[in-house]
Amino acid sequence: MRTKRLSQRREPTPSLPKTPTGIGGLDEITEGGIPKGRPTLVCGGTGCGKTLLSMEFLVRGAVEYGEPGVFMAFEETAEELTQNVRSLGFDLDQLIRRKKLAVDFVRVERSEIDETGEYDLEGLFVRLGHAISKIGAKRVVLDTIESLFSGLSDTAILRAELRRLFRWLKDKGVTAIVTGERGEAQLTRQGMEEYVSDCVILLDNRVVDQVTTRHLRIVKYRGTTHGTNEYPFLIDEDGISVLPITSLGLNHEAHNEHVPSGIPRLDTMLGGKGYYRASSVLVTGTAGTGKTSVAAHFARAACERGEKCLYFSFEESPAQLKRNMRSIGVDLEPWERKGLLRFHSMRSTLHGLETHLVKFHHLIREYEPRTLVFDPIDNLLHAGSKQDATSMVIRLIDFLKLQGITALMTNLTSGGLSKEETGMDISSLIDTWLFLRDIETDGERNRVIYILKSRGMAHSNQIREFLISDKGIDLQDVYLGAGGVLTGSARQSQEAREKAARLVRGQELEIKRRAAARRREALEANIAAMRKNFEAEEEEDQQLMQDELIREENQQRDREHLAAKRKADATGREPAPAKMGRRSK
């Protein structure tokens, strides 16, 4: 039973027939319109749009639903009404000529009237009945019937007659809107809500911090479900637009497609591919941390993909923004010329919140962007109370999700706020939340970025240093080590120190290596010398052994010779003596 789009109009539910008002958004929160064939009370203070709402009800009925209507005005003449609604594009004269509309101005001037004796309001009935039958009206507006109470003094008669009038209207089967001025203790001054019991709509025009926001609330709608919240509404050149919270149910699709952030290293941090399509990305940070730069990269990346991007800027004019972004190497101008990028700069205080929301809706409908940037979203806080702004952003995010638009919002956090606070209480709605901050050390500030959360993707938990140069944004690893987390020149000097230390260590090693080599050389030289010594001795030994052998042989020969001389019968030589033991030096 939930509608998905604002523009979609619902069929009346069979249980309780409803008449569509044709007013943008109102049919949605009433789930089909106001009770068919019954009177509805629209009450509110001065200037809250009762007359316009009821007139639009008639005009839309006549133009879009083929239901002629009677406007019984107690406060304004037909001419005044015609003029007043001309600014909304309603041509009453033409509708009257085509017998689609009848306007009857009822003037009840107390100074001209004396009352004596009994009377009733049959004259009013006659006039209304005549007007209805003249054009075959299906819709009736009585604006503001309570004026009768100021013109006629016998309230007992008036009350009885009004009761009769509403019954009479029901009998006629016309769908009526009765307007009433807001009273002190009750909804209307004269307690009209007692008579009109089926549907009561309350309009309200509140000024909070010098900004006006109109609200509409359905106080009562017998026999049907309806939205119970206060809905901001707006009167603009297209009439009234009521802005229901689009997601009465959370039923938007989930996209698996990814949208690059425009900063490659950031994409890596976000699971490698960037944000999800139709997700909402919040970039928070203190002043001067580069939120707009992140937004500009995102916008440029969208344009480079050929997707339309709508850029809402609440602080800078388009020219200023483009100049500033050009200084960091992001040239948005060509994309704007190509029609892929559109800027919309406005002061948030220019309008009330509801006007902003409607403007957003209008622009989004008209331009149909795939990506959207709000820079900064918290500026809308100035356009209304925090609560209103939050509810507006909620509705906006829901709307964007339904439209499949990827939105990047920046949000300025003040130093006093803890980092998890957005100042708008919208963090729970955010799919990807980037946090930018600066770290102040050693007399300098350095920007860092980290991902506070990113739904549905494995994302990095690391803090990265966020560098903005004339070539755009670059993310650097921060120094992580014994010195703690260091960024900026502290990181650089730490790195330099480490490099120097490495160098020194390298040199020491080299020295040691050389010393070892020298020692080895010395050792080898020693070994060689020893070997030479040894060889020399060995040679000597062999020489000695040789000499010994020769001497042995000589002795043998001498002995044999001697034996022979003595004619000894020795048969042979004596075996040679055992080999000599090794001689010691």
Residues within the interface to another protein (CB under 8 A): 104-108, 112-127, 129-130, 148, 151-152
d(CA 185, CA 191): 9
Q: State the nearest-atom distance from the C-beta of 99 to another protein, in Å.
A: 14
d(CA 137, CA 142): 13
Q: State the nearest-atom distance from the C-beta of 212 to another protein, in Å.
A: 35
Q: State the nearest-atom distance from the C-beta of 370 to another protein, in Å.
A: 56
Q: Which of 214, 182, 185 is nearest to 200 (CA)?
A: 182
Q: Output 78 or 468, the one with its CB closest to another protein.
A: 78
Residues 6+ apart with CB under 8 A from 135: 68, 70, 99, 100, 101, 102
Residues 6+ apart with CB under 8 A from 217: 201, 202, 204, 228, 229, 230, 231
Q: State the nearest-atom distance from the C-beta of 130 to another protein, in Å.
A: 4
Q: Output 119 or 534, the one with its CB closest to another protein.
A: 119
Q: State the nearest-atom distance from the C-beta of 129 to another protein, in Å.
A: 7
Q: State the nearest-atom distance from the C-beta of 127 to another protein, in Å.
A: 5
Q: State the nearest-atom distance from the C-beta of 224 to another protein, in Å.
A: 34
Q: Output 7 or 77, the one with its CB closest to another protein.
A: 77
Residue with tokens 């509404």: 233
Q: State the nearest-atom distance from the C-beta of 157 to another protein, in Å.
A: 8
Q: Output 121 or 203, the one with its CB closest to another protein.
A: 121
Q: Output 151 or 472, the one with its CB closest to another protein.
A: 151
Q: Output 157 or 208, the one with its CB closest to another protein.
A: 157
Residues 6+ apart with CB under 8 A from 223: 15, 16, 35, 198
Q: State the nearest-atom distance from the C-beta of 133 to another protein, in Å.
A: 8
Sheet with 341-345, strands from edge to edge, namely 341-345, 309-313, 371-375, 406-412, 280-285, 432-441, 444-454, 464-469, 472-477
Q: Which of 115, 110, 174 is nearest to 148 (CA)?
A: 110
Cβ atoms of residues 487 and 441 within 8 Å: yes
Rg (CA), the chain: 48
Q: Output 117 or 416, the one with its CB closest to another protein.
A: 117
Q: Output 97 or 514, the one with its CB closest to another protein.
A: 97
DSSP 8-class letter at 15: S
Residues 6+ apart with CB under 8 A from 577: 552
Q: State the nearest-atom distance from the C-beta of 106 to another protein, in Å.
A: 6
Q: Output 53 or 162, the one with its CB closest to another protein.
A: 162
Residues 6+ apart with CB under 8 A from 313: 321, 343, 344, 345, 373, 375
Q: Output 15 or 116, the one with its CB closest to another protein.
A: 116
Question: What ranges in 224-290 are assigned the alpha helix state H?
Answer: 264-269
Longest dimension (CA), the chain: 201
Whole-Å CA distances, 387 to 231, 380, 394, 414? 13, 11, 11, 18
Residue with tokens 């906006």: 396
Q: State the nearest-atom distance from the C-beta of 161 to another protein, in Å.
A: 9
Residue with tokens 């070539």: 471
d(CA 494, CA 474): 20
Q: Output 114 or 184, the one with its CB closest to another protein.
A: 114
Cβ atoms of residues 197 and 40 within 8 Å: no
Which stretches of 422-554 are assigned E, i.e. beta strand? 432-441, 444-454, 464-469, 472-477, 479-481, 484-486
Please list the residues that pair with 196 across neighbouring strands. Answer: none
Q: State the nearest-atom distance from the C-beta of 112 to another protein, in Å.
A: 5
Q: State the nearest-atom distance from the C-beta of 153 to another protein, in Å.
A: 10
Q: Output 122 or 304, the one with its CB closest to another protein.
A: 122
Q: Output 174 or 393, the one with its CB closest to another protein.
A: 174
